[in-house]
Amino acid sequence: MARDWYDLFLLDQAPPEVPAEPEREEKRRGFFKRLRENMKKTREALTAEVQATLFEGDLDEETWERLEEALIYADVGAATTAQVVEELEREAEDGNLVGGEALSNRLAELLAQLARTGDDKIDLRPDPTVILVVGVNGTGKTTTIGKLAWHLRNTLQLQVVVGAADTFRAAAVEQLERWGERAGVDVVKGPEGSDPGAVAFDAIARGRERGADVIIIDTAGRLHTQTNLMDELTKVRRVISKQMPDAPHETLMTVDATTGQNGVRQAKLFGEAVGVTGIILTKLDGTAKGGIALAIANELNIPVKLIGIGEQLEDLRPFDPDDFAKALLTA
């Protein structure tokens, strides 16, 4: 379970300057506080119902139905909600859980369990490691790449090259260039409208030439049709694999939390087309539907590896299921 940047990445050797544990713990606590504050919309919607159902009155059929409705409204997903409520109801009937606090704590535990799936780490041991980032336009993909590059360079002291292969959108390339300057990383680009595969090829060549540890490839998020987009992404993957047979080593997808179940459908589609290995869930601060993190992890079996809860650099963080469930439910 990754609780900070040093936990998230698998490295051949420890970064040169890892802060002492008390300092790391203090930073984690600071992030949890921001996570709670920034997930206020989802938490308020959920805790009011949890309070009304688990803390007040008898636990009858209506109680469990209300709890199901609240979780579904928060976009935890119908299948995931049914699993959680069924287990909670069974344990309550067996007499293992008595009182609202015990029920609420157990609900948080069950939600956290379902959010744990697959490998939640990012393996940076391949030399160089190629990370392909996919996702539809408007999900915060380019900003997320910039923040990720910054942390790899400035938190872990790694050499990073970014390939601006979303050549259909000039603004994306300019945005990456600004992030490149801020993070101190190389950005490889081509002329507007040029072949994305060629940019990916050049980025890997530049990365190898410069002795980069990590190469991050941005990709298009919108073409004329869904089929065109998936074909384009498959082609970029093929170009990367021709240069490095095991690459891309990680395929991360940005999903906008405010899109709710539509985001789950997007993740399913991209997962089938390009083999997504992890989700970066963005814009959690702007929605009452933060439960989508649990739906994606449990129903699609794709681990959520990073979450974005705001505009600041430190608002992109590794996903900790326990903290996330607490932030959802702690009044």
First to last CA, the chain: 24
Please tell me whether 330 is known to bind a ligand: no
Q: Does 137 count as an annotated binding residue?
A: yes
- How crowded is residue 298: how many other Cβ atoms within 10 Å of its Cβ? 22
Could you give the 3-state DSSP secondary structure of residue 221? coil
Q: Is 291 annotated as a binding residue?
A: no
SS3 220: coil
Q: Per the annotation, does 30 bind a ligand?
A: no
Say which DSSP state 291 is in: T
**Half-sphere exposure (CA, 13 Å, Cβ side) for 175?**
16
DSSP string, 74-117: TT--HHHHHHHHHHHHHHHHTTS--SHHHHHHHHHHHHHHHH--
CA distances from 306 to 226, 284, 309, 314 (A): 25, 11, 10, 12
**Does the annotation flag 262 for ligand binding?**
no
Dist CA 201 CA 173 (whole Å): 16
Q: Does 140 show up as a binding residue in the annotation?
A: yes
- Is 38 annotated to bind a ligand? Reply is no
Using an 8 Å Cβ cutoff, are 38 and 315 in contact?
yes
Is 141 marked as a binding-site residue? Answer: yes
Q: Is 138 annotated as a binding residue?
A: yes
Cβ count near 9 (within 10 Å): 21
95 is in an annotated binding site: no
Judged by DSSP in three states, 261 sits in helix
The annotation status of 221 as a binding-site residue, yes or no, is yes
Residues making up the annotated binding site are 135-142, 218-222, 282-285
Residues making up the annotated binding site for GTP are 135-142, 218-222, 282-285
